[in-house]
Amino acid sequence: MADWVDVAPYGEFQPGSVRSVDVDGTQVAVFNLEGTCYAIENTCPHDGGVLTGGDVEGDEVICPRHGARFCIKTGKVLAPPAYEDLAVFAVRVEAGMVQVRDTRWDEGFS
């Protein structure tokens, strides 16, 4: 089972902001949408560009390279040129710290 990785103190991670963090070798984008944090893979499957430089519209992030859109909450691809969904990561606030964890290979995770 993977460990939880610190992202930022919740009090310093304001709504509308995004942070990037390495979680077990995977770059993860962590978004604060109206006080709730969500984490998705930070690599566009279309060409490998990072998403954290892209515009955020509602609960969507737009890839800054070619305009593919993804749902921040679910990782679902919403517009080409990408056609693959992004991995979603577990997020929690523990003792005032925003943390993420890669649960994709945990036993019993679905």
For the stretch 6-32, pLDDT in tens is 999 999 999 999 999 999 899 999 999
* Measured distance CA(33)–CA(10) in Å, rounded: 12
Task: Quick: pLDDT tens for 64-104.
Answer: 999 999 999 999 999 999 999 999 999 999 999 999 999 88
Torsion angles phi and psi, residue 12, rounded to 5:
-100, 0
- pLDDT value at position 110? 46
CB neighbour list of residue 51: distance below 8 Å, 6 or more residues apart: 29, 40, 42, 43, 44, 61, 63, 64, 70
Domain total in the chain: 1
Q: Is residue 25 part of a domain?
A: yes
The range of the structural domain enclosing residue 18 comes to 5-101
| pLDDT score, position 104 | 85
Q: Is residue 35 part of a domain?
A: yes
Question: pTM for this structure?
Answer: 0.91
